[in-house]
Amino acid sequence: MFPETRMRRLRNGKMRDLVRENSLSADNLIYPMFVDETISTIQKTASMPGVERLPLSKVADDAKEAADLGIPAIILFGIPSHKNEHGSSAWGDEDIVQKAVREIKSELGKDMVVITDVCLCEYTDHGHCGMVDFEKEEVLNDPTLPLLGETAVSHAKAGADMVAPSGMMDGMIGAIRSALDENNFTDIPIMSYAAKYSSSFYGPFRDVAESGCCFGDRSTYQMDPANSDEAMREVELDIMEGADIIMVKPALPYLDIIYRVKTEFRMPTAAYNVSGEYAMIKAAAQNGWLDEKKVMYESLLSIKRAGADMILTYFAKDMARILK
Per-residue pLDDT tens for 151-160?
999 999 999 9
DSSP string, 255-291: HHHHHHHHHHH---EEEEE-HHHHHHHHHHHHTTSS-
Do strands 29-36 and 73-79 pair parallel, antiparallel, or not at all (unpaired)? parallel
Task: Note whether 133 and 126 are within 8 A (CB).
Answer: no
What local confidence, expressed as pLDDT, does residue 172 receive?
A: 97
Name residues whose C-beta falls within 8 Å of residue 117's C-beta, 6 or more positions apart in sequence. Answer: 75, 76, 77, 78, 164, 166
Task: Note whether 274 and 221 are within 8 A (CB).
Answer: no
With cut-offs at 50, 70 and 90, classify the pLDDT of residue 219. confident
Task: Give the distance, in angstroms, between the CA of residue 196 and the centroid of all CA atoms in the same chain.
Answer: 10
Task: Say whether pLDDT at 215 is over 90.
Answer: no
- Residues linked to residue 132 through DSSP beta bridges, in sequence order: 139
Task: Say whether pLDDT at 26 is over 80.
Answer: yes
Q: What is the 3-state secondary structure (H, E, C) of 145-170?
A: HHHHHHHHHHHHHHCCCEEEECCCCC
pLDDT tens sequence across 57-77:
999 999 999 999 999 999 999
CA separation for the pair 194, 190 (Å, rounded): 11
Task: Give the distance, in angstroms, between the CA of residue 172 and the centroid of all CA atoms in the same chain.
Answer: 17
What local confidence, expressed as pLDDT, does residue 136 receive?
A: 87
Q: Which of 111, 18, 26 is nearest to 63 (CA)?
A: 111
CA separation for the pair 212, 208 (Å, rounded): 10
In the chain, the DSSP E strands lie at 29-36, 43-44, 52-54, 73-79, 113-118, 131-133, 138-140, 162-165, 191-196, 245-249, 269-273, 310-313
Task: Say whether pLDDT at 217 is over 80.
Answer: no
What local confidence, expressed as pLDDT, does residue 203 receive?
A: 85
Task: Say whether pLDDT at 209 is over 80.
Answer: no
The mean pLDDT of 46-58, rounded to a whole number, is 94
What local confidence, expressed as pLDDT, does residue 218 receive?
A: 80
Task: Say whether pLDDT at 276 is over 80.
Answer: yes
The size of the chain, in residues, is: 324
> What value does the mean pLDDT of the chain take?
95
* Cα distances (angstroms) measured from residue 177 to each of 165, 235, 241, 284: 11, 16, 8, 42
DSSP code for 210: T
What local confidence, expressed as pLDDT, does residue 181 receive?
A: 98
Interhelix angle 59-68/96-108, nearest 10 degrees: 40
What local confidence, expressed as pLDDT, does residue 216 receive?
A: 63
CA separation for the pair 277, 42 (Å, rounded): 23
pLDDT above 90 as % of the chain: 85
Task: Say whether pLDDT at 213 is over 80.
Answer: no
Phi, psi of 110 (to 5 degrees): -80, 0
pLDDT tens sequence across 76-131:
999 999 999 888 999 999 999 999 999 999 999 999 999 999 999 889 988 788 88
CA separation for the pair 299, 281 (Å, rounded): 10
Task: Please give the model's pTM, rounded to 2 decimal places.
Answer: 0.95
Mind telling me the catalytic residues?
196, 249
What local confidence, expressed as pLDDT, does residue 212 receive?
A: 62
Cα dihedral sign, 19-323-284-166? negative
pLDDT tens sequence across 178-208:
999 999 999 999 999 999 999 999 988 877 7
Task: Say whether pLDDT at 33 is over 80.
Answer: yes
Task: Note whether 303 and 311 are within 8 A (CB).
Answer: yes
Phi-psi region of 246 (alpha: psi -120 to 50; beta: other; left: phi over 0): beta
